[in-house]
Amino acid sequence: MSYKKLTNPQIAWRAAQDIDDGAYVNLGIGFPEMVARFQPPGREVIFHSENGVLGFGEAPVDGEEDWDLINAGKKAISLNPGAAIFNSADSFSLVRGGHLDVAILGAYQVAQNGDLANWRVGHAGVPAVGGAMDLVNGAKQVIVVTDHVTKDGQPKLVESCSFPLTGVRCVTKIYTSLAVIQVRDERFVLLEKLKDISFDELQSLTGAALHIENEIVDLEVPELES
């Protein structure tokens, strides 16, 4: 392998750069939560957590947590000025009512038509799909952050999902450890790729055709601690 793939913090950093100022954003549990760490200076993003918080801030330092203030992943949070706390029913009314600009989620598989599978692999995974199905249908944009391949090297970007779906034709953009890809007209359109990986190498690691509509930009990110 002649290239060094991006780490999770680097993927999260790249995704954060494309979130518009003033956007209302939900971050999925786990890896997607990392995106909140990398907001560009001077840009305000209002983060939502489906357990009923809008406008949470950075994680408190160790020892200063208030465990009455947590996100949906049960991690301690702080509140930014103007933050709101409300019940879960109101939180999901916000989601289902189309008031979120962006939902950022992880994935087991993404199909070229935008189908998303991110809750169960065969007999492994959480017992039910949960709030992710509401998020992918309610948010104006659905962004996926993920490694490009599985731990055993199988493509996560595929022609059609073989795992149970979270949502149908919902994903708009994918930030992986190797590339940035737009889902457009039920195709994977390559926008950026690591400089050290060739198009043919990237295609061999992708389970569906990659399409080029404009000049491919080098995917460049800073060095970050994991």
Burial class (CB in 10 A: 0-12, 13-18, 19+), 46: middle
The 10s digit of each residue's pLDDT in 169-199 is 999 999 999 999 999 999 999 999 999 999 9
Give pLDDT tens digits for 99-144: 999 999 999 999 999 999 999 887 766 777 889 999 999 999 999 9
Please say if 50 is a catalytic residue. Answer: yes
Asked if residue 42 belongs to a domain, the reply is: yes
Question: Taking every pair of C-alpha atoms in the chain, what is the biggest distance, in angstroms?
Answer: 50
What is the per-residue pLDDT across 45-78, written as a single tens digit (0 to 9) for each?
Answer: 999 999 999 999 989 999 999 999 999 999 999 9
64 C-beta neighbours (distance < 10 Å), count? 9
Provide the domain limits for residue 122: 8-218
Instruction: Kindly state whether residue 226 falls inside one of the protein's structural domains.
Output: no
Domain membership of residue 192 (yes or no) is: yes
What is each CA distance from 49 to 63, 187, 226, in whole angstroms? 22, 31, 24
**Residues ≥6 apart with Cβ < 8 Å to 188:** 112, 157, 174, 181, 182, 206, 208, 209, 210, 211
Any domain includes 223: no
Nearest-CA neighbor of 47 among 31, 28, 30, 60? 28
What is the tens place of the pLDDT at every residue in 30-41? Answer: 999 999 999 999
The number of domains in the chain is 1
Residue ranges of the alpha helices (H) in 60-139? 88-96, 132-138
The CATH number that applies at residue 45 is 3.40.1080.10
Is residue 225 domain-resident? Answer: no
Residue 3: what pLDDT? 85
- Exactly one of 33, 44, 50, 213 is catalytic; name it: 50
Residue 201 falls inside a structural domain? yes
Q: Can you give the length of the chain in residues?
A: 226
Q: What is the pTM of this model?
A: 0.95
The answer as to whether 3 is a domain residue is no
